[in-house]
Amino acid sequence: MLALRQGRSLSDLFRSLQGAARRALMLDYDGTLAPFHVDPAQAEPYPGVREALTALLAAGHTRVVLVTGRAVRDLLPLLRLDPLPEVWGSHGWEEPAPAAGVALSEPAPEGRAALADAAALAPELEARGARLELKPSGLAVHWRGLPPERSAAIREWLEARWTALDLGRGLDWRDFDGGVELRLPGRDKGHVVERLLGEMGPGTVAAYLGDDLTDEDAFRAIRGRGTGILVRREFRPTAADFLLQPPEEVLAFLARWDLAAGGAGAAGHSSTGPEGAWSPPASLRDSGPGAAGATGPGRR
Ligand SMILES: [Mg+2]
């Protein structure tokens, strides 16, 4: 565990949970609760994650929310939880709806048209070796596992199409770990954090855990109102407050949260996570919030 901001400690967070009026735990899925898999449909949770989430949901002391870039329909079969936690999918374009299960926000017409143009690139992208994920909110182009020269060639080809087709008229270019997503603008994980914290009001103790560049929006949104936790083996510039290594430190965090909030804990998990404070060198601190946001041609 690394504390990335001076004066922040996880012990303080756990102490604040004890008397909190409301608690919210927001969790990304891929790379945070599950290891990456070349085939996203095979990305099962880390051992122990289902038990930890089940314990949190059963205790009822915390609003547990999964915030994913995946379409909700692609995530539920991997979770296999009963009851299911609340899931916000497609970077906030899909939100929980009591009757329908999931409500999809309607994009602007130029976004929908650009998304159709991007989707039409699918055969050529697949022919180049990319793995595609077509979502209600965008087209994710995965090149994880390909040799660097092939992923670079896919990226270059896609950048050329992006310009030629003027896809930026309706989509954002968003890099992620292992690919790029051409995504409808106007929603991101930060938007979900804003919505949830707005709904729950002051007095809510909240944390957001995520691993990817797309989680930086959530880290920025939660700053000053909760705790951002980057889940990753190595440090990178981030707006998060802490760095936890998956899966051990994440599991320990979930267990400690449950106990601090008054739950009974999931059997078989340590209740004491690694604790301590570490100050990064000035060169890392200076990277500052926002350094790891969107990159690529969509930044124009
Ligand atoms: Mg992730």
Residues, CB within 5 angstroms of ligand 1 (ion): 28, 30-31, 211-212
Note the pLDDT of residue 267: 52
Q: How far does residue 29's CA lie from ligand 1's centre (Å)?
A: 5
Q: Look at residue 97 and give its three-state secondary structure.
A: strand
Give the DSSP per-residue string, 2-69.
EE-STT--HHHHHHHHHT-SEEEEEE--BTTTB---SSGGG-PPPTTHHHHHHHHHHH-SSEEEEE-S
Look-up of token digits 């930060």: 190
Note the pLDDT of residue 39: 84
Q: How far does residue 19's CA lie from ligand 1's centre (Å)?
A: 30
- pTM (predicted TM-score): 0.83
Determine the Cα–Cα distance for residues 5 and 133; give it in Å rounded to an integer.
36
If 0-12 CB within 10 Å is exposed, 13-18 middle and 19+ buried, where does residue 188 land?
Answer: buried
Domains of the chain: 2-104+187-285 (3.40.50.1000), 109-185 (3.30.70)
Choosing from 28, 74, 215, 241, which is the catalytic residue? 28
Note the pLDDT of residue 99: 67
Q: How far does residue 218's CA lie from ligand 1's centre (Å)?
A: 12
Q: How far does residue 211's CA lie from ligand 1's centre (Å)?
A: 5
Tokens of 164: 């030629």
Tokens of 154: 């896919």
Q: Look at residue 292 and give its three-state secondary structure.
A: coil
- Residue type at position 150: R
Give the DSSP per-residue string, 115-152.
HHHHHTTHHHHHHTT-EEEEETTEEEEE-TTS-HHHHH
Encode the chain (300 residues) as per-residue pLDDT tens digits. 999 998 889 999 999 999 999 999 999 999 999 999 888 889 999 999 999 999 999 999 999 999 999 999 999 999 999 889 999 999 999 999 776 678 888 889 999 999 999 999 999 999 999 999 998 889 999 999 999 999 999 999 999 999 999 999 999 999 988 999 999 999 999 999 999 999 999 999 999 999 999 999 999 999 999 999 999 999 999 999 999 999 999 999 999 999 999 987 775 443 333 333 333 333 333 333 333 333 444 333
Note the pLDDT of residue 103: 86
Determine the Cα–Cα distance for residues 188 and 206; give it in Å rounded to an integer.
18
Note the pLDDT of residue 286: 33
My answer on whether omega of the bond before 281 falls inside 30° of 0, hence cis, is no
Helices assigned H by DSSP within 80-121: 109-119
- Encode 206-216: b = buried (16+ Cβ within 10 Å), e = exposed: bbbbbbbbbbb
Note the pLDDT of residue 38: 82
Determine the Cα–Cα distance for residues 131 and 77; give it in Å rounded to an integer.
20
My answer on whether omega of the bond before 83 falls inside 30° of 0, hence cis, is yes
Q: Is 258 assigned a catalytic role? A: no
